Amino acid sequence: MKSRLRIVLAQLDFMVGDLGGNAERIAAAAARARDEYAAHCIVFPELALTGYPPEDLLLRPAFAQQALAALQELSRRIRGIDVLLGLPYREGRAMYNAACLLRGGRVAARYDKHLLPNYSVFDEKRYFTPGTAPLVVDVQGVPVGVTICEDVWHPEPVAAAAGSGARLIVNLNASPYHVAKGREREEVVRQRVQECGLPLLYVNLVGGQDELVFDGASFVMDAGGRPTHRAPAFQESLLVVDLEDTAVGDVRPLPGETALSLTEEAEIYQAIVLGVRDYIEKNCFPGVVIGLSGGIDSALTLAIAVDAIGAERVEAVMMPSRFTSSMSVEDAAAQCRELGVEHHVISIEPPFQAFLDSLREEFVGTAFDTTEENIQARCRGIILMAISNKKGKMVLTTGNKSEMAVGYATLYGDMAGGFAPIKDVPKTLVYRLARYRNGLRPVIPKRVLQRPPSAELAPNQKDVDTLPPYEILDPILEMYVEQDHSPAEIVAAGFDREVVRRVVTMVDRNEYKRRQAPPGVRITRRAFGRDRRYPITSGYQEPV
């Protein structure tokens, strides 16, 4: 005789540390799954109750105590549906990354994550003790094996659940996004289900948390390795999964909702928009202010900001100098009009000249160089931060990954701000994203996409006066920064030895700048900040 099991995967956006707010969202979603969808069970992501990653909040005894108190309150409050949710669970002196089953007014079972990632952006061994025992719970007569995130990336935890009698695997995740991460996850899960011969339900967190973005994209894979359900990426979703428990003992997911896959440009753009939106909203900023130059980086940043929080909360400031072309001012103004953004023009000539006058004796006998260029950038930084202080709006910086890698940015100038939306976006990808955004609706003037990049801090200045062309620079940076190739390996791949030497030297020399940069959305496998940690003071030089 066949029977049905209905499970809801709750792909929701939780805020780190907001125990009360997260508990309310859990209770509301459970009630909706029970009353609207008649579900037997609802599954929430990893550490849903505290948000992910809580980082050193986990070292505060009161935080762990409050998390357990919130769990107990939820267990008493939610009835008529099984709830499986993640939280940090302190037992004695040990802290576990746990999944608890709430049933009948109590905590009916607990699973402790076996494999604790300690690479890339993960520091779980700093906080948690690994679990060792599998957990299989009966849900409507179906033995369900529980695993958490990293557990599914290795065969042993899933095999242990299957060996303990599970006929269905559920995996709770807080898996951050990087380019192509969704395809990578599905391939890993396909390997697991083919090894154990069981279907697997994968629920993932969604939302932005400082530098990290969680894309959701929860899915279900049947025992043959075929996806049967997929939630949309970068948005909240309650994914309803119906499973059939057959007379011969198989559990089969019935076909359900399958969201369309996104192009690479679409997924990256949506990741950045979500990361910017959540950083602004969760930190309670009323709006943002952006220095708009007429160049491609600030144009893309402005479009992202408007898509994230709406034009009415975005202010753009154009700050021309003696070196700013009329084209830049015209294109910046045209984009503001197209997007409906409030914009102002504040010349930096008076403060720039005032600084030159004040420093005349110090600079006597010296030529115009990067010093004067940086003064202009710092004049702009002061203006933007003053507007931020006076109006409470956060400054969004506009620098890209290529610039940050080689130090083509000014401390306390164009690096001054609260959040850096395209900090992890190489320059060549900036152009791709700008064209993608214009494909939705043209908002970035064509001239901005066509003109050679320039900081406009000196007469007739072009980026290629200082840097290799971005078509050459970006692949070198990808190999060195993201893939950890040696300079010699990069040269062997076909790049000029002296260009590689120069680029690598700039990257290494400018670590001090990146340490002082604002956080920004991580979209690559290896972003500056949490991902890549190199000493500022170092005598090491790798041979080229």
Burial of 254 by CB count in 10 Å (0-12 exposed, 13-18 middle, 19+ buried)? middle
Does the active-site annotation cover 46?
yes
| HEC assignment per residue over 355-420 | HHHHCCCCCCCCCCCHHHHHHHHHHHHHHHHHHHHHHCCEEECCCCHHHHHHCCCCCCCCCCCCEE
Of residues 46, 315, 373, 456, which has the active-site annotation?
46
Comparing C-alpha atoms, which of 121, 287, 96 is closest to residue 209? Answer: 121
Residue pair 480/489 in contact by the 8 Å Cβ criterion: no
Radius of gyration of the chain (CA): 26
The distance between the two most distant Cα atoms of the chain, rounded to a whole number of Å, is: 94
d(CA 68, CA 98) in angstroms, rounded, equals 11
* Token digits of residue 520: 């920004």
Of residues 113, 282, 393, 401, which has the active-site annotation?
113
d(CA 362, CA 357) in angstroms, rounded, equals 10
Question: Hey, which bits of 231-365 come out as E strands?
Answer: 237-245, 251-253, 288-291, 314-318, 342-345
Comparing C-alpha atoms, which of 63, 60, 53 is closest to residue 211? Answer: 53
Question: Hey, which bits of 235-308 come out as E strands?
Answer: 237-245, 251-253, 288-291
Spatial neighbors of 358 by CB under 8 A, at least 6 apart, are: none
Residue pair 484/525 in contact by the 8 Å Cβ criterion: no
Does the active-site annotation cover 149?
yes
Of residues 41, 100, 124, 149, which has the active-site annotation?
149
* Token digits of residue 64: 């762990």
Please state, in angstroms and as integers, the Cα–Cα distance from residue 365 to each residue in 102, 104, 352, 359, 362, following that order.
76, 83, 19, 12, 9
Point out the residues that are catalytic: 46, 113, 149
